[in-house]
Amino acid sequence: MRGRRWHLFASATLALWAGSVSAQTQNLLDIWGKALERDPVFASAKANRNAILEKVPQARAQLLPFLTGSTGAELDDVRRTNLDRDSTEKRGLWAVTLTQPIIDIAAWEQLKQSQLEAESADLAVQQAWQDLLLRVAQAYFGVLAAQDTLVTLDAQKQAITNQLEAAKKGFELGSATIADTYEAQARLDLINASEIEARNALQVSQDQLQKIINERPQALAGLSGNINLPPPQPARITDWTSQAGQASLEVARAVLSTRIAEKQINIAKSGHYPTLDFYAQSGSASDRGIYGPQAGPRSVDSTVGVQLSIPIFAGGGISSRVREQTSVLQRTRYDLESTRRQAVQLTQQYFSGVVSGLAQVSALQAAEKSSKASLDANQTGYEVGVRVNIDVLNAQQQLYETQRALANARYNTLLNGLRLKAVAGTLTEADLRAVNALLTSQNNN
């Protein structure tokens, strides 16, 4: 009966604590909204994407007409052998030139390459978004796990303190030995040490969450004790591995890297190709001076034509660049295969983590019930004299360790579910909302 009273006391303490902070409780979606606005890693990825997107208009500009203007002044001083005969002329020159590339294989390939780089940058932002979601969930559950540990240690400390008082009274009355007091005191000292470590762990986990949202987290909504965690859908691992091998964001970026490398080879080869430009120019062509006895109106000459440029020999540099980019392409293909294998391996790992996690949660729930029954039985046996103090202490420790393991198993299972969808390329905000619904349900109980 006394063990049951301590459970009720701990539950009442938690209820009072929850009620006092309910007005300030933040849930997972609250933290997610702040993270989207404040996380510097995600903001950096978006800024980098915006920078890379500018490569497309820059590459396109190489294929569009461009207009240049030039002007200048010349001083022509002519001196003869006969020093008394010399002349000086001053001229002003100007020209406007319009150039339109007609055939430029390198510029076309650079445009296609820049478009592929822009697609890769978009995927990088999606990756950063998924990574932020996972970091938020991991940091959030890290705080909850640290809080659970501290609350459990608090309840265990209170139970041991009461057991210590009972042992002291028993020793004073002669119904127990001093060993019972020493055993309870030793357990209490260990709990005090564990409590210090747990408070530090809570501080560290809160710091991790603060690093993302740039503010100290308030009280967080937690998981309800009677929730049913969702199994993976689809339920076959082959469906997940097939999806990850094709649609994973990492794999998609690796595919784009190979295509970019192919374009780079074409750019290198284009060094052997001719270029053809259309040009039109208009400007001054007079040799008359600006002022003086020869000053007069100057003529304006206009020229229209095409210019063909054919590379003949570049010292072997073009061939070397082609060989270099061919090796780069081979490397990107190997990287693509490695990325596919990594995606499949992570999919198997996270799928197994969800399935085994669900089984572990079910087993620990059964263990929690049996541990509670064991504690009640040992507490009753101690009161009637058929159990000793160490039996009660061991039963208490087993119950609280089981409760901590159960809470951690729930958090890990939910995180593995999110990681599984991320590696398969299907993680969305709806998945975070589904997890958040498990948290808000606690407030409705």
The number of domains in the chain is 1
Amino acid letter, residue 204:
V
**In terms of residue numbers, what domain contains 430?**
28-63+92-289+298-438
Residue 287's pLDDT is 52
Would you say residue 77 lies in a domain? Answer: no
Say what the pTM is: 0.82
Would you say residue 445 lies in a domain? Answer: no
- What is the β-pairing status of strands 275-284 and 300-309? antiparallel
**φ, ψ for residue 272, nearest 5 deg:** -90, -10
Residue 291 has pLDDT above 70, yes or no: no
Check if the beta carbon of residue 140 is closer than 8 Å to that of residue 221.
Answer: no
> What is the CATH number for 103?
1.20.1600.10
3-state secondary structure at position 216: coil
Check if the beta carbon of residue 390 is closer than 8 Å to that of residue 183.
Answer: yes
d(CA 161, CA 166): 9
Residue 85 has pLDDT above 80, yes or no: no
Using the 8-state DSSP alphabet, how is residue 279 labeled?
E
C-alpha closest to that of 204 among 134, 137, 128, 145 = 145
184-240 pLDDT per residue, tens: 888 889 889 989 999 999 999 999 999 999 999 988 999 877 788 889 988 999 999
H or E element: which one contains 81? none
3-state secondary structure at position 52: helix
CB atoms within 10 A of CB 47: 12
* Lowest model confidence (mean pLDDT) among 71-80, 259-268, 284-293, 367-376: 284-293
For residue 164, name the pLDDT band (cuts at 50, 70, 90): confident
Would you say residue 82 lies in a domain? Answer: no
Number of C-alpha atoms within 13 angstroms, CB side, residue 84?
Answer: 0
Residue 37's pLDDT is 94
H or E element: which one contains 284? strand 275-284
Residue 297's pLDDT is 52
Mean pLDDT, all residues of the chain: 85
d(CA 231, CA 354): 7
Check if the beta carbon of residue 296 is closer than 8 Å to that of residue 288.
Answer: yes
d(CA 424, CA 427): 8
Would you say residue 72 lies in a domain? Answer: no
Would you say residue 79 lies in a domain? Answer: no
Amino acid letter, residue 47:
A
CB atoms within 10 A of CB 20: 10
Check if the beta carbon of residue 405 is closer than 8 Å to that of residue 364.
Answer: yes
Would you say residue 2 lies in a domain? Answer: no
Residue 441 has pLDDT above 70, yes or no: no
d(CA 137, CA 143): 10
C-alpha closest to that of 412 among 344, 335, 360, 370 = 360
Residue 286's pLDDT is 55
DSSP calls for 83-107: TT-EEEEEEEEEEEEEEEEEE-HHH
For residue 252, name the pLDDT band (cuts at 50, 70, 90): very high
Using the 8-state DSSP alphabet, how is residue 270 labeled?
G
Would you say residue 13 lies in a domain? Answer: no
- What is the β-pairing status of strands 275-284 and 86-103? antiparallel
Residue 180's pLDDT is 76
Would you say residue 78 lies in a domain? Answer: no
d(CA 283, CA 1): 106
C-alpha closest to that of 414 among 344, 353, 360 = 353
For residue 38, name the pLDDT band (cuts at 50, 70, 90): very high
d(CA 154, CA 35): 31
